[in-house]
Amino acid sequence: MHESRIEEGDALIEAPIVANSTDADVLADIAHYAFDKFIDERDDDSGAAMRQLKRSIEYGSRAVDRNPTDLEALYYFGLANEADGDLKRAADMLLMGLAIDAAVPRLNSALARVLLKGGQPQAASFLISRLYSANHSEEGRARLRSILRQIEDGTLDLDELDHLL
């Protein structure tokens, strides 16, 4: 998906789906791929995007059940649940990921977005301030300061957090 080689990706992902793989890494890869396809197809009215989102949730759940310490599975399962509107489950999965490795920037920014959607700007600000503390680029720190101000003002466009890092 990342290289827009969708036909090749679909062919590669189909084999473990058909084989009904139970390997946690394979399940996490399928969840990741399905979430990326959901993002790619979300403006499509045919329902294809929602099928991919449901697939991502299904395989993410199976991956986390098999290996609850898999950061990729937790991250994409969290993102898929957020996209499906289940903010509590999304936050739970992302928090589980942070408990494993709190230094992962994309976990922090994704959880901050979920918390903002859930009406918890102070907790979200804390996570963004952690990113600020770990960032050594003046440009990056300036952007994070701006995001912190926008959270405080209530003017942040949540899409800003998608492209934070």
CA atoms of 129 and 50, how far apart (whole Å): 34
**Block residue for tokens 């189909």:** 14
Is residue 92 within 8 A of residue 70, CB to CB? The reply is: no
CA atoms of 34 and 21, how far apart (whole Å): 15
Cβ neighbours, 10 Å, residue 99: 11
CA atoms of 36 and 117, how far apart (whole Å): 21
How many CA atoms does the CB half-sphere of 12 hold within 13 Å? Answer: 11
Give the pLDDT confidence score for residue 13 in this predicted structure.
80
Tell me the two tokens of residue 145: 């300061």
Give the pLDDT confidence score for residue 2 in this predicted structure.
60
pLDDT, mean of residues 132-142: 93
Give per-residue pLDDT as tens, 119-133: 999 999 999 999 999
pLDDT band at 163 (very low <50, low <70, confident <90, very high): confident
Is the pTM higher than 0.85? The answer reads yes
Please say if the pLDDT value at position 54 is more than 80: yes
Average pLDDT, the chain: 92
Please say if the pLDDT value at position 49 is more than 80: yes
Would you tell me the crossing angle of helices 24-41 and 71-83 to the nearest 10 degrees?
30
pLDDT band at 3 (very low <50, low <70, confident <90, very high): low
- Distances from the Cα of 144 to the Cαs of 95, 116, 160, in angstroms? 21, 15, 10
Tell me the two tokens of residue 20: 């009904």
DSSP letter string, 53-106 = HHHHHHHHHHHHHH-TT-HHHHHHHHHHHHHTT-HHHHHHHHHHHHHH-TT-HH
Instruction: Sketch out the chain's domains with CATH numbers.
Output: 1-101 (1.25.40.10), 108-165 (no CATH)
Give the pLDDT confidence score for residue 59 in this predicted structure.
97
